[in-house]
Amino acid sequence: MASVPYMKDPTPENNFDVGDTVEVLADHDKGGDRVRGWVRGIVVQVDSKMVAVQFRGNVYLTDGWMVPDHILWFPMNSSNLRAPVKKNSARSVTSRADLL
């Protein structure tokens, strides 16, 4: 088989595997209200183009319908899908020497 020339390695930038924790920009329930924001989920299926993410809470489609199985599918290169962002833990000041 002839090799296919390419300028960039065809491997995806985000390699997601089943069991990975990800964050998704979606409508979901938070504190009894429906909000749009980043929510954590677990990757349950991956193929060459799509990633399925399952959530513990309710998630909604863009037209307002709740997703009954709590699973949303995203293209592999979606801007609404990312690896979890680590929260900055603020270091507490324990003594006056830390202030200097």
Model confidence pLDDT, tens digit, residues 20-58? 999 999 999 999 899 999 999 999 999 989 999 999 999
Query: Would residue 48 count as lying in a domain?
Result: yes
Say what percent of the chain tops pLDDT 90.
Answer: 54
Residue 11 binned pLDDT confidence (cut-offs 50, 70, 90): low
- 42, part of any domain: yes
Range(s) of the domain holding residue 29:
21-82
For position 64, what pLDDT does the model report?
A: 83
Structure tokens belonging to residue 7: 């300028």
36 domain-assigned:
yes
Structure confidence at residue 70 (pLDDT): 94
In a domain, 62, yes or no: yes
Q: Please, what sign has the CA dihedral across residues 75, 85, 59, 18?
A: positive
User: 33 by DSSP, 3-state: which?
Assistant: strand
Angstrom distance (rounded) from CA 1 to CA 96: 70
Q: How many domains does the chain have?
A: 1
The first and second tokens of residue 62, run together, are 């863009």
Question: Is residue 2 situated within a structural domain?
Answer: no
11 in a domain, yes or no? no
Q: Cα–Cα distance between 33 and 57 in angstroms, integer? A: 12
Q: Does residue 25 lie in a domain region?
A: yes
Query: pTM surpassing 0.85?
Result: no
Q: Rounded to whole angstroms, how far apart are CA atoms 44 and 72?
A: 10
Residue 10 is assigned to a structural domain of this protein: no
